[in-house]
Structure 1
Amino acid sequence: MNETLVGFTSCIISCIAFGFMFAPLRNFDCKDGNIASVPIINHLGIGVGMLVWSSVQVLIGWGVARFGFFGTRPQSVYNNTMNVVGLFFVLLSGFMFVFVKHKNQQRHSVDNSSVPESDVISMQQIEDNSAARKRIDHNAYKPTSHITKKKIGYLGLAVFLGILHGLMMTPIVYIQDTDPKASPSVLDYVFPHFCAVFFCSTIYFIGYCIWMRGRTHAPAELILPSAAYGVLWCIGMTLWFVSNRMLSQTVSFPITTRLPSTIGVLADVLLFKDVKGKKNLTVTFSAVAIGLIGVLLIAFSNQ
């Protein structure tokens, strides 16, 4: 079978798996299990956080392959202009997705706007207790410089996360490009990759259990949805390895990092009805259209 056909088929199935892998977990507040994503989402918001790390991921993954950084061979395309324009459209669609209001995000913002009972202090208490007055003043007037420094720190963390995601294929490509004895079959590298993921996740989970001291969040009803998420991730990742080899990273990387979010937001609109409102839907479908144009330009740039 033609390598290009196998590559694009693998790429599309991979994107579908990545696009729906959060569906089993949509009724649970579990973020995505990524160590850095939870603090990033909590302090920057899911829109800005995902925009930063996904954009950096696309640029790093594409740039390493296109220019041959870190000892890898440069991967050229037949039409470089079309490839670059497609990359721009992919990044633009990611920026537009920030402005899409999701039902869960709206509910989260409403929940956060309510004042906890422990922070409600009566006027009589304020008059009688100067310590309470200091507590309110401290909570109400946080220095802007402190908030800005915290945001800059989490923006840096988002950039770092994007860099790591963008470089995750580089060791495999480097080995295949530089070692004549290396296996040409990309599937031979899937198991070691998964073992590394499992090892690091296990170390983090053990550390989390020790830190929480018996207060870990591990409800029984989360087990099967998490397993389903893991199966979809494994399918998507394995086929991404295949498409990355068959199509070149300059083609597969931008597509596989943008198309799943496009599929996911379309599922939210058409299946789960989590995105509503005329303005919201207009922004959503505009971002989807621009993203698909970018994906098609990148796909045809190597033909």
Structure 2
Amino acid sequence: MSNNGTDLTLGFISSSVAILLFGSNYVPLKKYDTGDGMFLQWVLCAAIWLVALVANLVLHCPKFWPFAMVGGCIWATGNIAVVPVMKTIGLGLGLLIWGSFNALTGWTSSRFGWFGMDAEEVAKPLLNYLGAGLSVVSTFIFFFIKSEIPKNTCSMDTTPLMTEHVTNKTQDPCPGSSWVDKLSPVQSRMVGCSLAVISGILYGSTFVPIIYIKDHSKRNDSIYAGASQYGFLSGILWAIATCCWFIANHSLSAVVSFPIITAGPGFVAAMWGVFMFKEIQGQQNYLLMIFAFCIILTGALCTAFSKT
């Protein structure tokens, strides 16, 4: 097999693993009362950093560029909204929406060379544009899918992530409730969809600093000359999926991998939402979801074939 064929095979395998893990990494959170999500954010980022440390050691500790940390800050900022999004519109719909905006942001910045990155070319631009366009169309369909999210009922079955001893005798009857639990259904949907869009845009910008370093590492007059072509971000499933995403970026290029990897996890998360958590119900919602998935699949295939 040629080197090009090997890269494509490795890229698509890495993309498949990333899709599965990205679509499943928030599933364990549905079992616990996550409050406003800030403590969760700390635990998740700590787990990601540990896996990233292992990845860095495996790569023999390539030179570290502080600018790459900007990508981690952008991701962490977007990740603050994960818990509110899950509580308002659900895991499946939330990931579908932020995944679509993630794809659009990542694709446009890579394709047109935003933020100082090199514009990436593909063999069949028309197919690439079509694939990205279909991802946008699917986004608007997702806004019409209604999700059923139960409100906090102070059930004893949920175990809080962190507890504290309270000496005050007047206790909150729902100690695990947060501002999200007090929103009306209409407010929940508006807040959830808005936060999912913002998170998607931030997620789509996560790789900008690292791709910038990689592009400029090929130029002798750049301070990043000679920087490693492989990288890592500092949640076990998320970190492994991100490592696979880096491999896919290297093998397929970001302009191809972004639409595929950012659209795919929404399908996986939606299946969790439909079959496990019953977030999405009703024939009309099922038909809209299937229609949107068909559009996503078509777009992903167009994007994939645009490389060759």
TM-score norm. by structure 1 comes to 0.63
Q: Which structure shows the bigger proportion of residues in helix conformation? A: 1
Cα pair distance change 1:98/1:50, threshold 3 Å = farther
CA distance in 2, matches of 1:272, 1:106: 9
The residue aligned with 1:166 is: 204
Out of 5, 14, 23, the residue aligned to residue 19 of structure 1 is: 23
Amino acid at match of 1:28: Y
Amino acid at match of 1:94: T
CA distance in 2, matches of 1:19, 1:84: 25
Q: Structure 1 stretches of 5 or more lacking a match? A: 112-146, 195-229
Matched length:
221
Contact map agreement 1:11 1:252 (CA 8 A) in 2: yes
Out of 217, 223, 226, the residue aligned to residue 182 of structure 1 is: 226
CA distance in 1, matches of 2:12, 2:151: 38
Q: Which of structures 1 and 2 has the larger relative contact order (alpha carbons within 8 angstroms, sep 6+)?
A: 1
CA distance in 2, matches of 1:38, 1:272: 15
Q: How does 1:1-303 map to 2 (within 5 A)?
A: 2-30=6-34, 33=41, 34-38=79-83, 45=89, 53-102=98-147, 105-108=148-151, 155=194, 160-180=198-218, 181-186=225-230, 189-190=231-232, 193-194=233-234, 230-270=235-275, 274-303=279-308
The residue aligned with 2:171 is: none
Contact map agreement 2:95 2:269 (CA 8 A) in 1: no
CA distance in 2, matches of 1:289, 1:179: 39
Contact map agreement 2:95 2:266 (CA 8 A) in 1: no
How many percent of aligned residue pairs carry the same amino acid? Answer: 34
CA distance in 2, matches of 1:48, 1:3: 32
Report the CA distance between 1:50 and its aligned residue: 6.1
Residues 38-57 of structure 1 deviation map (CA, whole Å, 9 limit, x = unaligned): 55677x85699767654443
CA distance in 2, matches of 1:70, 1:77: 20
Cα pair distance change 1:276/1:38, threshold 3 Å = closer
Report the CA distance between 1:272 and its aligned residue: 5.3
Contact map agreement 1:94 1:258 (CA 8 A) in 2: no
Cα pair distance change 1:263/1:45, threshold 3 Å = closer
Moved more, 278-287 or 253-262: 278-287
Report the CA distance between 1:37 and its aligned residue: 4.1
Contact map agreement 2:127 2:303 (CA 8 A) in 1: yes
Cα pair distance change 1:292/1:98, threshold 3 Å = same
Cα pair distance change 1:62/1:6, threshold 3 Å = same
CA distance in 2, matches of 1:49, 1:232: 18
CA distance in 2, matches of 1:162, 1:18: 13
Moved more, 79-88 or 160-169: 160-169
TM-score norm. by structure 2 comes to 0.62
Cα pair distance change 1:38/1:267, threshold 3 Å = closer
Cα pair distance change 1:160/1:101, threshold 3 Å = closer
CA distance in 1, matches of 2:93, 2:280: 18
Report the CA distance between 1:184 and its aligned residue: 4.0
Q: From the CA coordinates, give the structure whose radius of gyration is larger.
A: 1
Report the CA distance between 1:263 and its aligned residue: 1.6
Report the CA distance between 1:95 and its aligned residue: 2.4
Q: Structure 2 stretches of 5 or more lacking a match? A: 42-78, 154-185, 219-224
Amino acid at match of 1:68: G
